Chains A and B, each alone.
Chain A
Amino acid sequence: MRHPSYSRAAGGATCLVGGVLALVLCAAAAGAWPAGVPESYRRTVNPSAGQPDAIAAGGRLFAEHCAQCHQPDALGKGKRPSLRSNLVQHATDGEIFWVLRNGILAHGMPSWSMLPEPSRWQIIAYLKSLGPSEDAVPAQGTRP
């Protein structure tokens, strides 16, 4: 007969290993942006796209929440990626919305789900208004 304390220890170790494995799997899945974005998000249209007031408000939100990592010009620095790269600028609004909602936690990008949806759309309107940077690599034949 198995000793009860051994059973508990084995159960705890199994939970721990399972938890670590789950984290690793989630981390691997989280890195696949924008390929892993669900189709429903990909097709979502920004209700604030191109609106001057939304772009101005998005600029304020960007300065408050995003600029410290991605820099005020959104060109990024070090491991913090440029938001004016072709990858981001050619992503659909829905794909960017998805990453703002979920973050890429395993790679340091936090979730901004606490920001209300209209505010997140304003940030996306602002980002898209910036356009690709001059030194952005020209887009390839397929969309990123």
Chain B
Amino acid sequence: MNPRPARWPVRLSRAGFQFLLAAVVAGISLLVIPGSAAAQEPPYFVAYSHAMEEPGNLEFTMRNTAASPRFGNPFGSATIEMEFGTTAWWTTEFYLSGQATGNDSAIFNGFRIENRFRPLLHEHWINPVLYVEYENVNEADRSILEVVGHDSAQDVTVPNAIQRAETERSLETKLILSSNFRGWNISENFIAEKAMNEGEPAEFGYAIGISRPFALAASPRACTFCRDNFTGALELYGGLGTTDSFGWRGTSQYIGPVIAYSIPRGPTIAFSPNVGLNDNSLGVLYRFSVSYEVQQIFSHFHGASR
């Protein structure tokens, strides 16, 4: 293991540079473009609720994760998400991820395609959602969009040059259970992931989220810092081992509060410091996101063609 470095020189691969440039431009654009609408979903970074994207809406999210592990080099990861409401009960999402590691390099990691389905078309005490995702990312991925199997802090000590050579094509499924009660949302996710190009056993994980807006009723007047523009949340997530060794042993676990702020007629920004709960976990993860929802994306094209 390398001692913690004092400096952070980063070598950029061509793809890594292009991705990071696109990510920075996308992030700045999301912050400055006016006229979006605040999405209604809880501000979780890892857990999913049963909130689906409204049909015809396209939400762009720039999701960043940074950490300075005790052993290994500091890193920053950027993931661009595009979430589209195909129907009121079917949401589809596309992800692009890249990362930069101190004393190492900046590289593009790969993509994910995900679909979420609501099998029950009415609201219930517990609302199930089925989640299916195809991942094509290399082992250097640092986005930590979920934790499964025996993912651990050791993973980030391997140089990018070695990890990027191994691409994992995997199928990930989640059972999402979500409930709303008196303004609170409680979501539980059970995760199963299987690499299709490797003979490794299936990996399991979980994520639990609880959230509530700071105010349940909207303010009658438009105001920048109204309480109803803020939402708080708490997330707990981690691995549950594999088919060969199911359980907590050798897994990493995290917990962290989330604060989200919906800028009136602007994007929603969220921040979350996540603390590792055991020795296998990275010490502290800092997560930051900016999301921007374009309502009725196709109506913009129709309008332009007139």
Residues of A at under 8 Å CB distance from B? Answer: 19, 22-23, 26-27, 29-30, 48, 52-54, 56-58, 60-61, 64-65, 68-69, 101-119, 122
Contact = CB atoms under 8 A, between A and B. Distances in A.
B37 interface: yes
Interface string B265-306: 000000000000000000000000000000110010000000
Contacts of B40: 65, 112, 114-115
Contact of A64 (B37, B56, B216): B37
B1 interface: no
A12 to B, nearest CB: 14
A48 B218 CA distance: 12
Contact of B182 (A54, A57, A117): A117
Contacts of A102: 121-123
A22 B119 contact: yes
A111 B118 CA distance: 11
Contact of A68 (B121, B218, B295): B295
B120 A26 contact: yes
A94 to B, nearest CB: 14
A114 B260 CA distance: 15
A111 B222 CA distance: 24
Given A57-B220, A105-B118, 10 more contacts: A26-B121, A26-B122, A65-B37, A69-B54, A107-B88, A110-B85, A114-B40, A114-B51, A114-B180, A119-B216
Contacts of B200: none
Contact of B220 (A26, A53, A112): A53
Interface string B206-230: 0000000100111111100000100
Contacts of A64: 37-38
Nearest to B222: A60
Nearest to A25: B121
Nearest to A109: B88
A68 B87 contact: no
B92 interface: no
Nearest to A111: B123
Given A30-B121, A110-B55, A113-B123, A103 B88 contact: yes
B218 A119 contact: yes
Interface in B152-193: 180, 182-183, 185
Contacts of B180: 113-114
Contacts, number: 97
Contact of B121 (A48, A61, A105, A113): A105
B122 A30 contact: yes
17 contacts: A23-B121, A27-B121, A30-B121, A48-B217, A56-B221, A60-B218, A102-B121, A105-B121, A106-B121, A108-B87, A108-B88, A109-B88, A110-B85, A114-B51, A116-B213, A118-B217, A119-B218
Contacts of A54: 217, 220
Given A68-B37, A68-B296, A56 B220 contact: yes
Given A23-B121, A26-B120, A117-B182, A105 B87 contact: yes
B202 interface: no
A20 to B, nearest CB: 10
Given A23-B119, A113-B123, A116-B213, A57 B219 contact: yes
Nearest to B299: A68
Nearest to B213: A116
Nearest to A107: B88
A15 to B, nearest CB: 11
B217 A57 contact: yes
A105 B299 CA distance: 20
B149 interface: no
A19 B182 contact: no
